[in-house]
Amino acid sequence: MTAIASELAAAIRSINDYPKPGIIFRDITTLLGNPRAFRRAVDELVNPYAGTKVDKIAGIEARGFILGGAMAHQLSTGFVPIRKKGKLPHTTVRVAYSLEYGVDEMEMHVDAVQPGEKVILVDDLIATGGTAEGAVKLLRQMGAEIVSACFVIDLPDLGGRKKLEELGVEVRTLVEFSGH
């Protein structure tokens, strides 16, 4: 593990048996509350794209909004919220996606992304990849070009990264934790 990954991992709280027995929940609220770690995480997510053409950052509800807003600010891009069904006030486009325990839907405003725009997708964590895969499909449905999908945490044992890479999406993560 690199020094940066170690620093960020130390700022992430692990909660045993949440939301159900056997699961270790990786809580980034402690990282967000630590000014140095939060700044370092955003800088590490942004640095590979500084000086490149990026039109929008798309953040997945809810922690992706926090990270994505900070990234959009640093890259001087627009921000696109990808939300659960029924939360956006204007005309939306929607996609169904798989969760460990079933199916859900997410949506974004129909005018949030224009065809050909270069978009970076952001969330706090990639696990099974169902939510991120749904977001990629939603953005592509609107004609966006996915530059990368960025996450603070990767849970590689759950295969989400591989799922996105099979869709031709570059995946960037900062910290890996084994297990669930």
Rg (CA), the chain: 16
DSSP strand pairing (24-27 vs 13-16) = antiparallel
> Which position among 13, 36, 39, 100 bears the catalytic label?
100
Q: DSSP class of residue 49?
A: G
63 is catalytic: yes
The residue to which tokens 């869709």 are assigned: 167
Q: Active site includes 40?
A: no
What is the Cα–Cα distance from 129 to 124, expressed in whole angstroms? Answer: 12
Q: Which of 63, 83, 161, 172 is catalytic?
A: 63
- The angle at the Cα of 103, spanning 99 to 109, to the nearest 5 degrees, equals 100
Catalytic residues: 63, 100
